[in-house]
């Protein structure tokens, strides 16, 4: 051998776990942010703490969002549950918009309100003035 390193041995010395861990963090941070964005209520670290019902501290949320700490499985499960509930709510609203309730004619009309206001704001007559007119 002329002193050149064996490429197979050199590549085996690189720890693939370290690379996989960094890659996981690179994928997990944007996914975590996308989940928070989908929920639409988590713009600041304080809002994320409130989203998790104060089960985590502000510093922990900051570490999650900056990729310094791994988001635990219970947090992923909770985000998934919230997103599923949000999707179900969206679906029910979409179904109600597709089939709006039909208002029967004459109900909820502005004519009813106009008649009520006409009676309500009509000039008041006293009982003594009615007796004077009558007799």
How far separated are the first and last CA of the chain, in Å rounded? 135
pLDDT one-digit tens code per residue, 37-58:
888 877 888 899 998 998 999 9
Within a domain: 30: yes
Within a domain: 7: no
- For residue 71, count CB atoms less than 10 angstroms from its CB and return exposed for 0-12, middle for 13-18, buried for 19 or more: buried
User: What pTM does this model have?
Assistant: 0.53
Within a domain: 92: yes
Higher pLDDT, 25 or 19: 25
Parent domain of 67? 14-98
- Count of domains for the chain: 1
Q: Tell me if 68 sits within 8 A of 26, measured CB to CB.
A: no
Within a domain: 74: yes
Within a domain: 49: yes
Q: How many CB atoms lie within 10 A of CB 69?
A: 14
Q: Tell me if 71 sits within 8 A of 28, measured CB to CB.
A: yes
């Amino acid at each position: 051998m002329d002193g050149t390193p064996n490429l197979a041995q050199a590549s085996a010395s690189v720890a693939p776990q370290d690379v996989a861990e960094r890659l996981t963090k690179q994928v997990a941070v944007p996914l975590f942010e996308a989940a928070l964005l989908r929920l639409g209520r988590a713009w600041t670290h304080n809002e994320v703490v409130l989203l998790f019902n104060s089960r985590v501290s502000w510093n922990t949320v900051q570490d999650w969002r900056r990729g310094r700490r791994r988001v635990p499985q219970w947090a992923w499960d909770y985000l998934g549950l919230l997103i599923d509930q949000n999707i179900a709510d969206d679906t029910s609203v979409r179904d109600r918009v597709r089939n709006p309730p039909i208002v029967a004619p004459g109900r909820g009309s502005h004519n009813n309100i106009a008649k009520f206001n006409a009676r309500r704001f009509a000039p008041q007559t006293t009982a003594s003035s009615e007796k004077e007119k009558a007799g």
